[in-house]
Amino acid sequence: MKLSQFGCLLAQDSPIVQLMEDLGEALSRNPDLLFLGGGNPAQVPAAQACFHQHLQAIAEDPQATASMLGVYPAPQGGDSTLRAVAGFLSRECGWPVDEANIALVNGSQLAFFILFNLLAGAGEDGANRRVLLPLVPEYLGYGAQGLGQNFFVARKPLLQTATAQRFKYALDLDALNVDADIGALCVSRPTNPSGNLLTHAEMDQLLAKARGAGVPLLVDLAYGSPFPGIVYQTNDNPWRSGAVHVLSLSKLGLPGVRTAIVVADEELIRCVARANTIMSLANGNLGPALLERLISSGDLARLGQSVLPDFYRARRDYLVDLLDRALQGLPYRIHEPQGAFFVWLWLEQLPGGAQGLYEKLKKQGVLLMAGEPFFFGWEKTWSHARECLRLTYCQPPEALERAVNIIASEVRALYGR
């Protein structure tokens, strides 16, 4: 079979393909695996009860069921959903938006594929533009999405090590020149994988740099505020012209409905809607139908303000405490876990590196993520990139405890302590 260039780019093996295969293995075929790997959200009983109740209300209403199952929605999203989302974002969050600023897409993975390839790659003017990641590590799922070579260019973060067992990444503003070949900047907030929450000052600086270069700043709010709100400090993300905010229902607990919301200036929204029509024809209706009910009932605000942050904060504290106890005396640091549902663990000068540890643990039934694929768009060598691992805390406490015991004994063996 002869694949096109497009075919080779999309059919290649890549870290996100590996991650989703691990996820499928753990969640469908081999549930005994201790799965601290991919980004599947936790089972949160209060959220599940709420989704069930809204789904039941739709199922009991023949009119609602017919329009959900039997109608193609408009390319940008159904009018009533766009109205509901615009109302929520302007009323609850104070974002200066209306329906023309919003497009629905089948999941934020697809939203980023569309956005990246609208804004970077080979231009009509002959220029070849790239996406700038102002700091890595960044979400590895972007890595294979660019339809072009060297699609991403990334900057190394500053490393802050205020306390013995913790660290934090910060933006290196001095290194953040936005060259003429940049088509967009992109950050996730909070960041997958590190749990870092870029400060408001950092976000202001990024937007100023993007505006100065005349390119959009893409902000991935997959874990952020206003929903799912998996952020452990007061936080908001006011949308401003020149920025593109991408929200998703997945980490709210609904990855199966494949629904994301793009908020941007009108001109870009029109482009997203057209590209989405060409790629998907239309969005699924289940996510938008649930979303409208979650908004009108007040449940969306409630889940994002208290239910989900409270649940994940307790899990985070549990896992961090387990790790602090199990790794005592070893050269480890945990990134300040400010949001998302990951612990980003740095094992300094780990013999065999994080990939070696990943493979050893997989053989023992523990799946986590080695850190290096999160450092992409990056040509320089940095030993730190090979010393980090990502652990999710979505599994029940007893699974976390068993996994940490196995991880700690492997790590101790590697360090010879």
Ligand X SMILES: Cc1ncc(COP(=O)(O)O)c(C=O)c1O
Interface with ligand X (CB under 6 A)? 39, 107-109, 139, 141, 188, 192, 220, 222, 248, 250, 255, 260
**Tokens 């969050």 sit at which residue?**
93
Name the residue nearer to ligand X (CB basis): 202 or 220.
Answer: 220
**Tokens 């991935």 sit at which residue?**
220
φ, ψ for residue 341, nearest 5 deg: -115, 50
Minimum gap (Å) between residue 246 Cβ and ligand X:
7
Residue environment code for 150-166, b if the CB has 16+ CB neighbours within 10 A, otherwise e: ebbbbbbbeeeeeeebb
Name the residue nearer to ligand X (CB basis): 75 or 137.
Answer: 137
Minimum gap (Å) between residue 15 Cβ and ligand X:
12
What residues contact 394, with CB distance under 8 A and at least 6 apart?
Answer: 40, 41, 42, 315, 341
Minimum gap (Å) between residue 231 Cβ and ligand X:
13
Minimum gap (Å) between residue 340 Cβ and ligand X:
7
What 84-87 contacts at long range (C-beta under 8 Å, 24+ apart), as own/partner pairs, is: 84/291, 84/292, 84/295, 84/296, 85/261, 85/291, 85/295, 87/295
Minimum gap (Å) between residue 363 Cβ and ligand X:
25
Name the residue nearer to ligand X (CB basis): 182 or 246.
Answer: 246
Minimum gap (Å) between residue 357 Cβ and ligand X:
22
**Tokens 């991650």 sit at which residue?**
19
Name the residue nearer to ligand X (CB basis): 255 or 331.
Answer: 255
φ, ψ for residue 320, nearest 5 deg: -65, -40
What residues contact 299, with CB distance under 8 A and at least 6 apart?
Answer: 50, 54, 293
Check if the beta carbon of residue 190 is closer than 8 Å to that of residue 237.
Answer: no
Name the residue nearer to ligand X (CB basis): 116 or 139.
Answer: 139
Name the residue nearer to ligand X (CB basis): 272 or 322.
Answer: 272
